[in-house]
Structure 1
Amino acid sequence: MKDLLSIYPVVIDIPISWGDMDAFQHVNNTVYFKFFESARIAYFEKLHVMDVMSTTGVGPILAATKCRFKIPLTYPDTVSVGAKVDAIEQERFIMTYAVISHRHKKIAATGEGEIVTFNYQRNQKAPVPDEVRHRILDLEKT
């Protein structure tokens, strides 16, 4: 499984809960977006984004997200979720995700998030702070 996640600098493990399943007896589609969110927050924690946000007022906000389902997941299982940044633009960056099933030892889903940098004091988009841009580039090198 490590080779499936080797390109992701941030990887977290999440156990699937019984309550994650729906009437069709597999993990509900909305849960995958929670997996992505958890990986995204872990990525932001590695960057210390909240420190930058507290001094500049500029932080991330999710503008768009999507998911491509590959195989259904069921309880019991654990997933490893990888997150990485594929592109950085002036006021946004694109993060990609992979959800790997421990039981099946394969990719269960892939996803993407468009994250806009937002000035929460001025209530408008803002450029990606240089400090955050450099931290992303450094993390992606590892």
Structure 2
Amino acid sequence: MARHLYHCPLRWSDMDAFGHVNNVVFLRYLEEARIDFMFRLRPRDGSPSFSGGSVVARHEIDYKLPLVHRHEPVIIESWVTKIGAASLTIAYEIKEADDPQRVYVRASTVVVPYDLEAGRPRRITAEERHYLQEYLEGAEPRRTGAEEDALVA
């Protein structure tokens, strides 16, 4: 399975009074990687997939090591761990480009596709599911369509 790689620059303003990147800033880094990931997944053929809105339903972050500000970017690896009927879970690792064993953060985000015009969540389309499955790893056992429909209803 594939992982999306995002080279995230560190900014001087990301640093806190203790000389390391502030914990809240990591949420911004994850957002940048997630947006890059979703837009790269979007087909270029005029398809409406991934063109609507989405909302974050949940974040989980484990801070592993402090990240001191420097000029070199960090790498954020993103992949999908779960695809439901109307949500997906994206996992991340923020790590050193030249030492992938040095992990600063492990995190996950539950994303819900959102119909901006209707003002409510929407289901993941078959086309979107197809693209997301290329990045699916470490997933729970798959549910049948009927089981997913029962969860959303």
TM-score per shorter chain, which class? Answer: 0.7 to 0.9
Counterpart secondary structure, 1:112: strand
**How far apart are 1:102 and its partner, in Å?**
4.1
The residue aligned with 2:93 is 98
Matches within 5 A, 1:42-121: 42-48=36-42, 51-54=48-51, 58-76=52-70, 77-102=72-97, 106-121=102-117
Equivalent in 33, 40, 58 of residue 34 of structure 2: 40
Query: What's the TM-score, normalizing by structure 1?
Result: 0.82
Give secondary structure in 2 for the equivalent of 1:135.
helix
- Look up the equivalent residue of 1:128 and give its one-letter code: I
Displacement of 1:42 in angstroms is: 1.3
Alignment check: 8 A CA contact 2:2 2:135 kept: no
Higher strand share: 1
Secondary structure at the counterpart of residue 124 of structure 2: coil
The answer for unaligned runs of 5 or more in structure 1 is 1-6
Q: Where in structure 2 are there 5+ consecutive unaligned residues? A: 138-153
Answer with 1 or 2: which has the greater Rg: 2
Aligned length: 132
Q: CA separation in 2, counterparts of 1:79 and 1:16?
A: 8
RMSD: 2.2
Task: Kindly state the Cα deviation for residue 128 of structure 1 after the two structures are TM-superposed.
Answer: 0.7
Find the partner of 1:29 among 23, 31, 47.
Answer: 23
- Kindly, what percent of the aligned residue pairs are identical? 23
Does structure 2 retain, via aligned residues, the 8 Å contact 1:66–1:111?
yes
Structure 2 length-normalised TM:
0.76
Structure whose residues are more often helix by fraction: 1
Residue number in structure 2 paired with 1:12: 6
C-alpha contact 1:13 1:81 (8 A) present in aligned 2: yes
Mapped partners of 2:55, 2:69: distance in 1: 31
In structure 1, give the amino acid aligned to 2:119: N
